[in-house]
Amino acid sequence: MDLEYAPEYEAFRAQVRAFLDEHGAEAPRAGIGGGGGSRERTLAWQRRLIEHGFAARTIPKDYGGYGAQPDLLRSIIIDEEFARAGVSRGIGGQGASMLVPTLLEHGSEAQKREFVGPTIRGELLWCQGYSEPGSGSDLASLQTRAVEDGDDFLINGQKIWTSTAREAQMMFALVRTEPDARKHEGISYLVFPMSTPGIEVRPLHTLTGNAEFNEVFFTNVRVPKSSLVGRRGEGWKIGNTTLRHERNMLGSTSQTESMFASLVTLLQTETINGARAIDSPLLRDRLVRLEAGVLAMKYHALRLLTCELRGESPGVAGLIVKLVGCELNHQISGLALDVLGELGPLVRGSAHERAQGGWPFQWMFSLGLIIGGGTAQIQKNIIGERGLGLPREPKAA
């Protein structure tokens, strides 16, 4: 066990810091919901990051990336230093994190050339069309159909929980192309512009009071066959690569840690009857309880990182991050509300609001994340079946 980084990595860390010292001020302001700075500034920052290898780091140069060999430790160091400096890591989103790795693995040469560069530069924004009203946890039962019609597919159906559908120019979607095949084998992976006639986007207002998601309706949407990524009927496998890329992003706990740091500050600054909240033994006890949970996940992430570096399987330890991390975030924001008392439920814009209404928003939104991306219950099935080797639920007759 050795938590020191080798000298070559410390040298790399120094390079990252030097970059941040020199260029950090050019970055759009990081923060919840982003929204700091113009689109021009955001795109310029993204180009700067790629040029120095701090974004699209391992994407081949031919497709507009930086072309470095994958090196998990360097990626972690970049994350750590940007988080420490509070500087934006650039444009993420489902295009860069999910679509690009999928295209690199399964896309045609033409698709890679057309989409990868603009996506990593942030010029092309994507949304993901997976979930449907009737297909949530049982995603493979999806019913949106794409029927072959000459050189095109005609798409009919509906997607839901589509974030950024209003802003995105493109969608990557799972659709049923082979209605007679078994459910996992009848799905294809398509990419197409959101401006295609017949696509209608309706904002989906959630429990938080905002519309973080959308519903997308397809009525005779005609897309060329060249929209297909990989082969017909292989969409489930290809879509799962995308999900694997999502899950493989090692349980970054930096967001949880920074939320916890904000909670500590809240307890140290908020006063009740003239005394700081942290001077209440009851609130302090809850704070320390959460601190232990946060630290446990921080070192758990380091342990998983080590497994990845050593090429070892972490076993069941690798499957619990989503379940535990999302729960922890919900509890951190929940304690903030209790510290605030009646101030806690005050939303953005109210008199006496705290943190621009950020805590009640986080508290509600984090419940959404417990459900989204595979519910807590689905996570427990995965942990039980893949991690602990328990038998699957018998199929319903």
Q: How far apart are CA 110 and CA 124, in angstroms?
A: 16
Position among 221, 278, 332, 336 found at the interface with another protein (CB under 8 A) = 278
Asked whether the beta carbons of 163 and 214 are under 8 A apart, the reply is yes
9 vs 217, beta carbon nearer another protein = 9
Residue 161: C-alpha distances to residues 89, 205, 374 (Å): 25, 10, 12
Least spacing, CB of residue 87 vs another protein, in Å: 22
Q: How far apart are CA 254 and CA 305, in angstroms?
A: 14
Q: Which of residues 38-97 bind another protein (CB under 8 A)?
A: 73
116 vs 319, beta carbon nearer another protein = 319
Residue from 246, 257, 291, 308 carrying the catalytic annotation: 246
Q: Residue 88, SS3?
A: coil
- Sign of the CA dihedral with 28 first, then 64, 126, and 320 last: negative
Interaction of residue 373 with another protein, rule CB under 8 A: no
Asked whether the beta carbons of 7 and 15 are under 8 A apart, the reply is no
Position among 181, 211, 272, 309 found at the interface with another protein (CB under 8 A) = 309
Q: How far apart are CA 166 and CA 204, in angstroms?
A: 11
Position among 1, 25, 110, 351 found at the interface with another protein (CB under 8 A) = 1
Least spacing, CB of residue 163 vs another protein, in Å: 26
Return the number of other C-beta atoms located less than 10 Å from residue 138's C-beta: 11
Q: What is the C-alpha radius of gyration for the chain, rounded to an integer number of angstroms? A: 23
Looking only at the bridges linking them, the beta strands covering 126-129 and 170-176 are parallel
Asked whether the beta carbons of 219 and 198 are under 8 A apart, the reply is yes
Position among 7, 110, 391, 396 found at the interface with another protein (CB under 8 A) = 391
Position among 112, 159, 300, 330 found at the interface with another protein (CB under 8 A) = 300
Candidate segments 61-69, 164-172, 238-246, 313-321, binder of another protein by CB under 8 A: 313-321
DSSP output for 112-176: IIIIIHHHHTTSS-EEEE--BTTBSSSGGG---EEEEETTEEEEEEEEES-TTTTT-SEEEEEEE
Q: How far apart are CA 103 and CA 124, in angstroms?
A: 14
Least spacing, CB of residue 82 vs another protein, in Å: 18
Interaction of residue 381 with another protein, rule CB under 8 A: yes
116 vs 294, beta carbon nearer another protein = 294
14 vs 309, beta carbon nearer another protein = 309
Interaction of residue 14 with another protein, rule CB under 8 A: no
Position among 87, 160, 287, 370 found at the interface with another protein (CB under 8 A) = 287
Looking at the DSSP assignment, which residues form a beta bridge with residue 278?
none
Interaction of residue 272 with another protein, rule CB under 8 A: no
Least spacing, CB of residue 331 vs another protein, in Å: 13
Measured in whole angstroms, how far is the alpha carbon of residue 53 from the centre of its chain?
A: 21
Interaction of residue 396 with another protein, rule CB under 8 A: no
Active site residue 178: no
Least spacing, CB of residue 393 vs another protein, in Å: 6
32 vs 296, beta carbon nearer another protein = 296
Q: Residue 306, SS3?
A: helix
Interaction of residue 303 with another protein, rule CB under 8 A: yes
* Residues classed as catalytic: 246
Residues that bind another protein (CB under 8 A): 1-6, 9, 73, 264, 278-279, 281, 284-285, 287-289, 291-293, 295-297, 299-300, 302-303, 305-307, 309-310, 312, 316-317, 319-320, 323-324, 377, 379-381, 383-385, 387-394
